[in-house]
Chain A
């Protein structure tokens, strides 16, 4: 009896995944058994793929069982490679082709209203995530993956970054804490990840350590595309150090807050009103603004309560946040609609901006709306609102041509 490795998932409710059992032997050749719910359509493909991968890793004697619940090729490959690497040491990797559609990089200041968390070891949720059009998709290697699945999840996330179409969403991964997180980077940086979320960030040194590794991998692989960092503040110490963390590297584009861990750290409970986290949220907003980056709020965990979510977004927006996390695709539209300028905000901004342009044309130094003077910061905020509204198709770019002065 040789060593046995298992990877993947099976059983009731498991979809688009497979469970691989691999036993290396001294003799007997390759004995491959495939049980698949799509055997009629893809049984031969699955067998051929498995044999090719085994051959690539130089495995000639093994007993392999693949229990398949409709896994795509990239998933089968990830599961099998992880099983192989649990048993043998090798530097080789079996990479599915990189989709050309995924070869984009993202701008530092792009919209990050919504970022959808997906467990890093659940392929069924990844395949269609992009069609729901979140601003970002987070493949989570940290809390959403059980400790004994952390290793195999890296292969799945890597293959997903290459072979699942993200449909333009910012390609994000939340790495693990500590050294495991540093190791995670090897599986991510060469595969055009746009942004790394850094959990439990408490000190600038954590960012620097991650960046050293990222820079090294980028250099080795000749990668020029930027890799952004979003530290997540989830502890009392992190909140206190928020500003120095926000300033610690020039590839930090935003600071996020994680309230479940933070409230636990405080020894309190998370409430709907959020009084217990008011200070921390304000700190994160303040630190981010001071550092010129985006403050991003925590997730809202009741996926059935859309009105509660909307109220939460309104509070978040009022505090100064630019976006928040989501854990279900249904939350995306509510988050986008509510973070986007609302109709009355746009109306008000239109009046101010219109008055501003008129004042400029007339060479006046002071902007006035009726008899009321408008301060420059108010004008600036109105201009931001208008730009955002135009960007989100809430307002025509040439709106001024049709705007009637009131």
Chain B
């Protein structure tokens, strides 16, 4: 079987395969153009007669649970990134599969982290055929060099839910790490030594996988309250000594930036929102976990405090700064997809105004609407942006795949999407003629804020009009690009072979772009 076949040019002008790992795929058709037909995938029917009446689903070891779940060659195994770089579960699964001589598994993580580097050896020896999800750091490098057997597929958090729901991906075994669980399989992420906040990324897996294994290091007597994952979805429960490294789960990478340049980006972004009238009593926003995005929250707070306004809701990734806003009454609700520190975990556990969400509620594009399009201001990052406002978050300008998409694509549907990014990083200009990889179509990206000026998407004539007399340095994206190249020089493009090593899916499951093998 070829990794891919039948290349066509899609609506974004990118050449993409339409047969991927033996399955048909639809090329990207434009925002909102592709409409699915038919019915959602359905999980297998089951009967309580096959489950212990006393509710006790505990199995002595992960290996036994995997064997009971029918682990065999070619299966799809899913895991979740609630523990971020402190995950101790995903690698164990493949250690066991390797030991059992199982081959050609598809790993379906909701995201990968540097701690998953050991997976490269299983990709090399054929235990794992490919990754569909995200390929970070070493895994991205491995993929970019053309070493992965199958074709990698990158999906957003919403796209991951959509793929399962639509039947594109059938999960054979889902392994859900639950920081606190009972013997029936109810579990949550707000209690226990490995507390991480919500468990929303595992929702699709619980609902649709053939077999679901909950792994915990904090088994409590029934009932485990709250149950973020219902035990009714769960086949087996496994108790391990330790499932995650707490200090890496709540990584502390999410401090407010001290970099004066990034603070300037934050200040200008907040000022832009204010001058453009995007901040009002009852507005909503989503800021990512990066230092710049966090600092924007500080500036928002100042504005809200001064005018006695409140944000109706903020979307998390939450952390102590957002929690402070909630507790100070500057934000009425936090709708949280993941939690970045212990203050976030505590708040989610104790404050009814801090509630967990899932990719189903927030991001799934094949639903009856989702939350992302209701958010007023969305602050995001990017590795590159081009003169048409298309943006890239997965590859670097040297061509290497280094990051996953996360919820980035999904949040682009917010009412005003702002990317505060430095005009150049060291000597790497961020604004290019054409992004190396398109992850977000330019029509959804409204404003680029750099330390040398702010560019508004020409499609947003309303914003351009509002900012006509702004005190901020409004420039065109071409001016910004020229300014960066005057300082850095005109960069050469990376050299790629024709070979496709991975594809980027759009939120509707269509193929947005191809990632090609890097020539060293």
Q: Which residues of A contact B (CB under 8 A)?
A: 15-16, 37-45, 69-73, 124, 127-128, 131-132, 165, 328-330
Known: A16-B427, A38-B427, A41-B398. A128 touches B489 (CB 8 A): no
* Residue from the list B263, B264, B451, B492 in contact with A41, Cβ < 8 A: B492
Q: Which residue of A lies closest to B261 (CB)?
A: A128
Q: Given A40-B399, A73-B489, are A328 and B260 neighbors across the interface (CB < 8 Å)?
A: yes
Query: What is the chain B residue whose CB lies nearest that of A76?
Result: B427
* Interface positions of B from 238 to 290, Cβ below 8 Å from A: 260-261, 263-264
Closest chain A residue to B492, Cβ basis: A41
Contact status of A37 and B426, CB under 8 A, knowing A42-B492, A128-B261? yes
**8 A Cβ contacts from B470-520 to A:** 487-489, 491-492, 494-495
B489 near A131 (CB under 8 angstroms)? Answer: no
B contacts, CB < 8 Å to A: 260-261, 263-264, 397-399, 425-428, 451-452, 487-489, 491-492, 494-495
A40 touches B397 (CB 8 A): yes
Q: Are A131 and B452 in contact (CB under 8 A)?
A: yes
Further pairs besides A40-B399, A70-B427: 9, Cβ < 8 Å: A16-B426, A16-B427, A41-B491, A42-B492, A69-B426, A73-B489, A127-B487, A132-B264, A165-B487
Q: How far is the CA of A8 from the CA of B45 in the complex (A)?
A: 68
Contact flag A45-B489 (CB < 8 Å), given A37-B426, A70-B425, A71-B427: yes
Instruction: Say how far A215's CB is from chain B's closest CB, in angstroms.
Output: 34
A171, chain B: closest CB distance, angstroms: 17
9 tightest A-B CB contacts, nearest first: A70-B426, A41-B491, A329-B260, A40-B398, A70-B427, A40-B494, A38-B427, A16-B426, A128-B261
Q: Are A131 and B397 in contact (CB under 8 A)?
A: no
- Name A123's closest neighbour in chain B (CB-CB): B426
Closest residue of chain B to A36, judged by CB?
B427
B426: chain A residues within 8 A (beta carbon):
15-16, 37-38, 69-71, 124
Whole-angstrom distance between the alpha carbons of A336 and B489 in the complex?
A: 34
- B-side contacts of A329, CB under 8 Å: 260, 264
Contact partner, A72, options B425, B452, B488, B495, Cβ 8 Å: B488
User: A132's contact among B260, B428, B492, B495, by CB below 8 Å, is which?
Assistant: B260
B453: nearest chain-A partner, CB-CB:
A131
Q: What's the Cα separation between A282 and B306 when bound, in Å?
A: 38
Q: How far is the CB of A137 from chain B (nearest CB, A)?
A: 13
* Docked complex Cα distance between A330 and B488 (Å): 25
Residues from chain A with Cβ under 8 Å of B261 in the complex: 128, 131
Max chain B C-beta neighbours (<10 A), residue from A44, A71, A127:
A127
Q: List 20 A-B contacts (CB under 8 A).
A: A16-B427, A37-B426, A38-B427, A38-B428, A40-B397, A40-B398, A40-B399, A40-B495, A41-B398, A41-B494, A42-B488, A42-B491, A70-B427, A72-B427, A72-B487, A124-B426, A131-B261, A131-B452, A165-B487, A330-B260
Shortest CB-to-CB span from A314 to chain B, Å, is 21
> Nearest Cβ in chain B — how far from A329, in angstroms?
4
Q: How far is the CA of A128 from the CA of B397 in the complex (A)?
A: 22
**Does the CB pair A42–B397 fall under 8 Å?**
no
B263–A42 touching, CB < 8 Å: no
List residues of chain A with CB within 8 A of the CB of B398. Answer: 38-41
Residues on A with C-beta less than 8 A from B428 are 38, 41, 70
Q: Report Cα–Cα, A131/B451, bound state, in Å.
A: 7
